Amino acid sequence: MKPERARLRGLPAMDALLTHDAAQELIKQHSRSLVVAALRAELAAARQVILAGQEVELAPAAIIQRAAEDLLRQQQPSLRPVINATGVIIHTNLGRAPLSDAANVAMRAAAADYSTLEFDLQSGERGSRLDHAADMLRDIAGAEAALVVNNNAAALVLILSALARDKEVIISRGQLVEIGGGFRIPAIMQQSGADLVEVGTTNRTRIDDFADALTERTALLLRVHSSNFKQIGFVHQPDLPALVSLAHERDLLAVDDLGSGALIDTAQFGLEQEPTVQASLAAGVDLVCFSGDKLLGGPQAGLILGRAEAVGQLKAHPLARALRVDKLTYAALLATLEHYRRDEALARIPVWQMISRPLDDIADTAHRWAKVSGGNVIKGASTIGGGSLPGATLPTWLLALDSANPQALKTALRRADPPIIARIAGGRVLLDPRTVLAGQESDLARVLAGVDCA
């Protein structure tokens, strides 16, 4: 008899496993069906290991323990909180902007109770969810009207579908960007039914290029902020006032897609100036659209501001219903916008807290971590991320962990509870305090104290 077959005979029977005290405890914690499925999976895996000529522990207690670990992993949701120690403030893969405490409270309240999502308390009649953020956005940015949809790509699709379907939209060739995840502006425009007209060259486009391309089918002139890349050297794009002037001279619309968009001047933090929503509106654009979960610091949303007539056409379009947001998004967005209205965004919105965090405070935090972990504190740079301010960095202090196997250490941190997402540079694992939220520091210190950095 082959040794593999002899070892297969050593596999315990399912009945024997289920009557084991450890299995009975598992059944109390989960259910009989889940435990049976987990044990079957472990027995099947053990068979494969044996047939491959490898060693595996076949004692009932060992098999049950492996099944318990599998059940624990299965219970972990795929969407989990993590500690972002990468130094990338608006980290797309990690959920972009974390919400303020007030926004989290507002979301919990909206989720737990009935609400006035589409009900007018004054009249007692049905209301419109589209009105909830409109007044606040008008007050903050100085727009005539506003509309909220589920992301900025959706905002652009709605604008073009409602205002330029079967008509021409003129855009600079240098602004045909890919916004991430393989989504490209030309493809988005094609879905809207608008005809794309490219003008200029990759690096230089003049206002005359737009003027020369105008036809009877032209509906609007579109500017798209490059957001996630930067052109330098021999480059030129017409400024927004010139584009608006040309559009309005020819009785056309001017639309500005800001991508990230900002309500606060980033130059005050030593960064380049990200185009602001207020500046676009002041330039006279008919519509400006931008994201809610980037520099705004709120939930995922696409915000459209501009002239009342144009916004009204968007609201009346059938796509507006398909692209609308739910009560949780409105709750978080309203709470976030309230921070701007109260002039407390820098103090209350996490994205702006991180951007404006004093360097001395970051250094103090890094040194506390170094005492716990035995690592070193070094100078470094944080980035904004999320398609905002490409190439721009903020000075920071980093915890640097030396290890014979940096990748293994990074993996151990990622698999900790809670997971800590770090980065590797110069052969060391680096953690940036700038992007670690205040309430997460004790958990991070606990993990650092227990992880093996050897």
In whole angstroms, give the CA distance from residue 354 to residue 350.
6
Neighbours of 313 (CB within 10 A): 16
On the CB side of 312, how many CA atoms lie within 13 Å of its CA?
4
pLDDT at 370 over 80: yes
CB 362 within 8 A of CB 65: no
What is the tens place of the pLDDT at every residue in 18-53? 999 999 999 999 999 999 999 999 999 989 988 888
pLDDT grade for 454, boundaries at 50, 70 and 90: low
What's this model's pTM, rounded to 2 decimal places?
0.88
**SS3 state of residue 244:** helix
pLDDT grade for 7, boundaries at 50, 70 and 90: confident
Classify the C-alpha dihedral 64-70-71-72 as positive or negative.
Answer: positive
- Beta partners for residue 221, in sequence order: 170, 254
In whole angstroms, give the CA distance from residue 263 to residue 288.
13
pLDDT at 441 over 80: yes
Mean pLDDT of the chain: 91
The DSSP code sequence of 225-237 is: ---S----SS-B-
Distances from the Cα of 61 to the Cα of 26, 56, 66, angstroms: 12, 13, 9
pLDDT grade for 106, boundaries at 50, 70 and 90: very high
Q: How much is the pLDDT for 1?
A: 44
Amino acid at 158: L
| End-to-end Cα spacing for the chain | 45
pLDDT grade for 237, boundaries at 50, 70 and 90: confident
CB 155 within 8 A of CB 322: no
**SS3 state of residue 261:** coil
Which among 54-63, 280-289, 388-397 has the top mean pLDDT?
280-289
Domains of the chain, earliest start first: 3-75 (no CATH), 83-92+351-450 (3.90.1150.180), 99-345 (3.40.640.10)
pLDDT grade for 232, boundaries at 50, 70 and 90: low
Classify the C-alpha dihedral 10-16-21-27 as positive or negative.
Answer: positive
What is the tens place of the pLDDT at every residue in 331-360? 999 999 999 999 999 999 999 999 999 999
CB 172 within 8 A of CB 203: no
Q: How much is the pLDDT for 203?
A: 83
**SS3 state of residue 251:** coil
Locate all alpha helices (DSSP H) within 52-92, ordered by sequence.
60-75
**SS3 state of residue 256:** strand
Q: How much is the pLDDT for 182?
A: 62
Share of the chain above pLDDT 70, in %: 95
